[in-house]
Amino acid sequence: MDHRLSLRILAAAFSIVFPHLSLADENDGRFMEAIRRMDAGNYAGAVDFIETELRRAPVAEDAPAYALLAVAALRAGMDGKARAAAITALADDPTLSPAWTVLEKLRPAPAPWAAADLPEKVRGDADSLLPILGCGRLDQWPKFAVRGCVNVYGMYAARLTLTGRPKRAERIRELGTASALKYAFDCISARDFEEADVLVDLAVSLQDGNDPSKASRETQTAVHVLRSVIDVQKRRYLHAIADLEHVAALGHGRIDPELSDIFARLLFTVYESISWEPETGMLRVADPDDFFDSGIAEAMVPALKPGLPYGMASAEEDRVTCATALITDGMHTQLRQPSVDSIVRDRLRKKNFELPVKVVLQMISLVERGGGPVRPEMQANVNRRIAQIEKAMGGGSDIPDATLDAFEVAKRAWALLPR
């Protein structure tokens, strides 16, 4: 079947399912007689004609013909035949929208009709194929069916590759990948991060050798962006920054402004993880040296004991007091407060790294929120603070993992901001 006729059959099928589309003219090859019969309302005659032609001279690329058969059988009231033809078409090409439309109109599919109505070419796949393709389009499938359908896409892609149709296989693989990633995004929107994690892994499994780097640039970007969101939520912070590095590498080596919200979310989540248990929101260690004060009268903070810095009140106040200290640092003399530099040096002398790392993360957050390239003086300031911390750490072995991870994220996040 030549390419022009294949497209013509699809157009005709669309015109039957969607009557506002014009029907094909009468001069396009062996299946045009079926289209004429359908145009005249003789759907049973169209079914007979298509089935006779397929038996008389099977064609290598017959999926569009089966899609047309599915539409004709549906209009003729032959539901079992319509369902079998639609699934036969989709077994070879899951992109055929007319076949999907037929299945959607016939849902739910009763089980007994299954294999007996299918041609021999796909009957062996009936057990795995029918329960999944019989549900309808991927983005309409219930949660329990989605994982199976992605595997079916992979199965078809593998079969097409083995039968010498690599281009078609790649198209099917891309379709399955895009569908899985779309559903993963929907799961993230519904805060079902566990299912989203599984679906992203399944999308990766469809790539050649389970290697996402062999996918298109768009697919790679989608995989790593979704994974970064999932990794932040599941507290895999080093994985999350690695995901964003992959995304940046696919572009110009810097974080794209469109990912600002994800980037900011990672920074403040990592910041809070230094002193606060993510699961409970409780302090890891009640050490006043890990926090800034705000100068607010103690009477206004009854939950705190006298002399404790206000940053210990909550994770949010921890971030706010640190940001305030940085923003007002030039006024420390008038405010009769020590400078941020002097506080950081004091903590580094004590081998207390929590507050210095928080300062670096907060500085990066302020730069990121400001937008645009990093100013030279800010770049020098952040670089200096990072170097101070690295020197003071000196390979120490008693530094909490949360602090070490946060510092690693800070250094790598800093490298992603535009210069």
- Who wins on pLDDT, 404 or 335? 404
Q: What is the 3-state secondary structure (H, E, C) of 307-339?
A: CCCHHHCCHHHHHHHHHHHHHCHHHCCCCCCCC
Q: Is the peptide bond before 108 cis (omega within 30 degrees of 0)?
A: yes
pLDDT tens per residue, range 156-202: 777 778 878 788 778 778 877 887 888 888 888 889 999 899 999 98
Angle between helices 43-56 and 32-39 (to 10 degrees): 170
Distance CA 317, CA 300 (A): 14
Characterize 384-397 residue by residue with b for buried, 16 or more Cβ atoms within 10 angstroms of its Cβ, and e for exposed.
ebbebbeebbeeee
pLDDT score of 146 = 65
Instruction: Give this prediction's pTM.
Output: 0.68
pLDDT tens per residue, range 250-276: 887 888 888 888 999 999 999 999 999
pLDDT tens per residue, range 93-137: 666 767 777 877 776 544 434 444 555 555 444 444 444 444 444
CA dihedral over 116, 122, 125, 131, signed as positive or negative? negative
Q: Are 356 and 385 in contact (CB under 8 A)?
A: yes
- Over pLDDT 90: what percentage of the chain? 33
CA dihedral over 33, 39, 45, 48, signed as positive or negative? positive
pLDDT score of 88 = 81
Q: What is the 3-state secondary structure (H, E, C) of 51-76?
A: HHHHHHCCCCCCHHHHHHHHHHHHHC
Structural domains of the chain in order of their starting residue, each with its CATH number: 1-118 (1.25.40), 137-253 (no CATH), 257-416 (no CATH)
